[in-house]
Structure 1
């Protein structure tokens, strides 16, 4: 129980800072409601869960290789730039009033969550934090400590997502279409900003690798 609570708090801590996933969740939550905002979060958690499986299977050393991590910076930048451009271009589209049922596909927003979560920062977190926990679990008498830690982090992320989207759902009811459109444009600008940062990190990592 102690391990679970410890890593639940870690999950909350890593989810609280405003990142690309939070931006996309908030935008989709305002435009199409709680379920679509949560779809983005579920997409992100799917990537997290996949990384956990890779860790359990012993791929941590492969995932930490520069040849694996460096390309992910530019791939992530491309995905975020696309989502940012799309957010600005279609800022006035796919806005569903709070009292109407959205026609937007759940799976399209889930896909956005998958794209945003393809982040080297996300990969590095799982490799660094859970690499240590995994090695410890193999030498300790409690073989399930890694699984408990992983569930704790995912629970923390889930609590953050549900809490954030609950606030967004309430806020959405008092926001006009023009205000939601403005948020969508701002979200697009932020996503493009994250993509530029990813390009910078790609250049930096590549320079360090070839130096």
Structure 2
């Protein structure tokens, strides 16, 4: 129970800072409601669970190799730049009033969550957080510790997402279409900003490699 609570707080804490997933969740939640914001969160958690399984199977050292991580900076930058551009270009589209049923596909927003979550920052987090847990569980012959820690982190992220989207859903009912458009534009700018940061990290990695 102690391990679960510890990593529940870790998951809750790392989900709180504004990141690309939070930006996309908020945008979709405002434009199309709780379910579509939740779809983005589920896409992100799908990547998280995939990485957890990879850690459990012993791929942590492989995923942490520079020549594996560095291309992911560019892949992540491309995805975020695309989503940012799309968010700005279509800021006035796909806005569903709170009292109407959205026509937007659940799977399209789920896909956005997957794309945003495919980033080296996310990968590095899982490698660093669970590396110590893995070594400890193997040394004590108790691999259950890893599963408990993983459940704790995922639960923390889940509670954060539900809380955020609950606030967004209430806020959505009092926001005008124009205000939602502006949020979509701001979200697009932030996503492009994250994209530029990923490019910076890629360039920094190349520079460090050739030094």
Q: Do the structures match in fold with TM over 0.5?
A: yes
Which range, TM-score by smaller chain? over 0.9
Q: Is the 8 A contact 2:134 2:143 kept in 1?
A: no
Instruction: Give 1:209 shift.
Output: 1.4
Deviations 1:35-92 (A, max 9, x none): 0001000000000000011111111110000000001111100000000000000000
Instruction: Give 1:196 shift.
Output: 0.5
Aligned partner of 1:15 in structure 2 is 15
Q: Distance in 2 between matches of 1:120 and 1:209?
A: 17
Deviations 1:3-35 (A, max 9, x none): 000000000110000000000000000000000
**Between 122-131 and 134-143, the greater mean CA deviation after superposition:** 134-143
Q: Distance in 2 between matches of 1:188 and 1:16?
A: 20
Aligned partner of 1:25 in structure 2 is 25
Deviations 1:77-127 (A, max 9, x none): 000000000000000000000000000000000000000001111101111
Deviations 1:136-169 (A, max 9, x none): 1011153200000001000000000000000000
Q: Distance in 2 between matches of 1:132 and 1:120?
A: 19
Aligned partner of 2:135 in structure 1 is 135
SS of the residue corresponding to residue 5 of structure 2 reads helix
Structure 1's consecutive aligned runs of 4 or more residues displaced over 6 angstroms after TM superposition are: none
Aligned partner of 1:202 in structure 2 is 202
Q: Distance in 2 between matches of 1:43 and 1:57?
A: 22
Alignment gaps of 5+ in structure 1: none
Q: Distance in 2 between matches of 1:65 and 1:77?
A: 19
Task: State the Cα RMSD in Å.
Answer: 0.6
SS of the residue corresponding to residue 95 of structure 2 reads coil
Aligned partner of 1:2 in structure 2 is 2
TM alignment of 1:42-191, pairs within 5 A: 42-191=42-191
SS of the residue corresponding to residue 181 of structure 1 reads helix
Alignment gaps of 5+ in structure 2: none
